Copies of this chain bind each other. A is one copy, B any other.
Amino acid sequence: MSFDPATDLELTRRFAAAPATVWRCLTEPALIERWFAPRPVVTRDVSLDLRPGGSFRSVMDVPGHGEMPGHGCVLEVDPGRRLVWTDLMRGGWHPNAGSFGFTAVLTLEPEGEGTLYRAQALHRSQEQRAGHEKMGFHEGWGAAADQLGELAASL
């Protein structure tokens, strides 16, 4: 309902693993670190307070760019089905300085034995959407989604 093709981006993947296993990969910090950023970027020090208003933190080590700390806020948790978070805020609904400014809507639907995974990035404007696409949304989120599917299948 809140997805707007003029301002937002999305991708889908079909995973062999069941939604419950994919959900673990979306929400357990030690598993998040194994898929969250496309290799060779390394994600570490993930913490996730899995409730509305909870903090979602991570650090990415980007070769050639150094360390990028990330601060987000959990918006919606529907276990096994839907996770929504944003980088507009950090824990406690607190506005974030220096954020890119998007909301991530991640949904899981059972499909046979597996999962239909959908990742949406909601933006404030068409310009921001175009910028995110140019930065490599499909490649970056796509590679991370593939890593997520592989990790879930291995569990």
Contact = CB atoms under 8 A, between A and B. Distances in A.
Task: List the number of copies, as a whole number.
Answer: 2
A138 to B, nearest CB: 19
A76 B89 contact: no
B125 A97 contact: yes
Given A2-B94, A53-B76, A124-B96, A103 B89 contact: yes
Nearest to A87: B95
A102 interface: yes
A95 B95 CA distance: 12
Contact of A88 (B2, B84, B89): B89
A76 B76 CA distance: 11
Interface string A1-38: 11010010000000000000000000000000000000
Interface in A106-139: 122-125, 128
